[in-house]
Amino acid sequence: MTIASITRKTPEAIQKNTPSFHSNVLIVGGAYAGLAALVAMKNHLKERAKLQKISVTIVEPKAGLLNILGIPRAIVDTEFAKTQYVPFEKLEDVCFDHLISNDSFVIDTLGKHVKPNNNDFIEITYVHGSISDLKTRSAFYHLNNNPEKTGLIEFNWLVIATGRNRHWPTSPLAYNYDSYIKEMAEFRNHIDRCHKIGVIGAGAVGIEIAGDIKSKCPEKEVFLFHPHEKFPPEPLPDNFKDLTKSSLERGGVQVMTGYRVQRESENHELHFTNGDTLKTDFNYWCTKFHNNTKILAPDLAGFISTNNNIYVNDFLQLTHPESQEHHPHIFAIGDLVELPIIKSAGWALYMGRQAANNIVSLIFDGVLVEPMPDLTQMPKGMVLVAGNNELVSSLDGVLELNNKSYVEEYTDYCIGKIRATLGA
């Protein structure tokens, strides 16, 4: 592939408007998967980019690494919350050559570390905003505080790593470190004003939120409602699900299975499909998430599955399983992919590195070098923080409570391990 020259409206390190420009690689999303792709690409290019810099742009509304694993505890523990958001300027080996942002806090903090030629072999631009319209060769973007004014990014290669969102504050806006801390404190203050709290939906997030609220606020009544007898819903052994439930109950959470919420009244009264009702002071819904696929323009929307995932092949390139339509220059990674896996931070980090490896190889050698492993041979597992901060884990059918390695990793909710894996 011919590497296009880097073109910009202005050469400044920091721009507060929305310039249109070209980037060899565009990464949409800067959480686990997107950051893993960026760091891995930078590492690969140390060895490969000899004649001309490769330009890489990453677009992400949060100006830092937010550890989603720690959010259920962070929303009830504001001191702990401070450890779960690492501003980009504090990540090791992640340096930007250009910053496009109109956020004064980010400009005053991250901006101090941004300058042209920060990197010798790669040019990295960070756009502090979001993509609004993603096409096969270009994307319109806007900044967080001005969605009406857009710019255009043209690209040769694309990595879609937009992930999924849930109800606030499990998916906080967290545009910068300061606003993130305020969001966590706001939710904790709301919890403090309530005595009887309902958590609706016993997926991983609901389980951990219910357990963390009760653990941090033992004087409160905490209910966890789920319509099925067993939870969480992932394809894991029943003994894992039973131990998760008993751990929550030992921790004081009132687990109510077989209760499907029909609606919630304005006074926080829950109405169940069996005719029962229960009034609480506050209810937190953990029944839904949505993958961020709405940004895909019509020429890409055909790759969205009925599960709102994105169809990919073994190399994570967009490929439709029926029509075999294929975009070899576009990769989707992380929670978005239509693959038979339990979505996790580990898989997101893995796929980010894999996509970067393949893109760099395609740029310089024209070949793909790393497919996904045989997923039929991969063990399925999960670790959950349940009642009394107990760790319930199942890996390839082996059930454990408070596995020593997991207990050590979860002292910081794996953010140290994640940063080590990223190399950042």
**Average pLDDT, integer, range 54-60:** 98
Q: Is the pLDDT of residue 57 over 50?
A: yes
In terms of pTM, does the model score above 0.85? yes
| pLDDT one-digit tens code per residue, 190-230 | 999 999 999 999 999 999 999 999 999 999 999 999 999 99
pLDDT score for 11: 59
Which residue, among 409, 417, 413, 419, has the nearest Cα to 77 in the 3D structure?
413
pLDDT score for 48: 78
Rounded-to-integer distance, Cα 391 and Cα 187, Å = 24
pLDDT score for 12: 83
Q: Which CATH class is domain 15-167+289-377?
A: alpha beta
Q: Is the pLDDT of residue 6 over 50?
A: no
**Average pLDDT, integer, range 406-414:** 97
Give the length of the chain.
424
**Average pLDDT, integer, range 339-355:** 97
Q: Identify whether the C-beta of residue 383 lies closer than 8 Å to the C-beta of residue 225.
A: no
What string of DSSP letters covers 68-116? GGGHHHHTT-HHHHTTSEEEGGGSTT---SEEE---HHHHHHGGGG--T
Q: Write the DSSP symbol of residue 314.
A: T
In 138-237, alpha helices (H):
177-192, 204-216
Which residue, among 350, 313, 3, has the nearest Cα to 157 in the 3D structure?
3
Q: Is the pLDDT of residue 1 over 50?
A: no
Q: How do 54-59 and 64-66 pair as beta strands?
A: unpaired
Least confident of 48-62, 192-206, 346-360: 48-62
Helix axes 204-216, 238-250, angle to 10 degrees: 20
Kindly indicate the confidence band of residue 273, based on its pLDDT and cuts at 50, 70 and 90.
very high
**Average pLDDT, integer, range 6-21:** 77
- State the fold for domain 193-287+379-422: FAD/NAD(P)-binding domain (3.50.50)
Kindly indicate the confidence band of residue 424, based on its pLDDT and cuts at 50, 70 and 90.
confident
Q: Identify whether the C-beta of residue 84 lies closer than 8 Å to the C-beta of residue 67.
A: yes
**Average pLDDT, integer, range 24-35:** 98
Spatial neighbors of 424 by CB under 8 A, at least 6 apart, are: 35, 39, 65, 91, 92, 93, 94
Kindly state the tokens that stand for 180: 């993130």
Which residue, among 164, 197, 170, 194, has the nearest Cα to 183 in the 3D structure?
170
Q: How is the chain split into domains, by residue range?
A: 15-167+289-377, 193-287+379-422
pLDDT score for 152: 98
pLDDT score for 299: 92
Topology match between the domains 15-167+289-377 and 193-287+379-422: yes
Rounded-to-integer distance, Cα 102 and Cα 96, Å = 16
Least confident of 50-59, 140-149, 239-248, 339-348: 50-59
Q: How far is CA 302 from the centre of its chain?
A: 23
Q: Is the pLDDT of residue 4 over 60?
A: no
Spatial neighbors of 301 by CB under 8 A, at least 6 apart, are: 293
- In the chain, the percentage of residues whose pLDDT exceeds 90 is 92
**Average pLDDT, integer, range 240-269:** 98
| pLDDT one-digit tens code per residue, 86-142 | 999 999 889 999 999 999 999 999 999 999 999 988 999 999 999 999 999 999 999
Rounded-to-integer distance, Cα 178 and Cα 122, Å = 30
**Average pLDDT, integer, range 357-372:** 96
pLDDT score for 2: 39
**Average pLDDT, integer, range 386-398:** 97
**Average pLDDT, integer, range 251-272:** 97
Q: Is the pLDDT of residue 377 over 80?
A: yes
Phi, psi of 204 (to 5 degrees): -60, -40
Q: Identify whether the C-beta of residue 154 lies closer than 8 Å to the C-beta of residue 162.
A: no
Q: Identify whether the C-beta of residue 89 lies closer than 8 Å to the C-beta of residue 115.
A: no
Rounded-to-integer distance, Cα 197 and Cα 285, Å = 11
Mean pLDDT (the chain, rounded) = 95
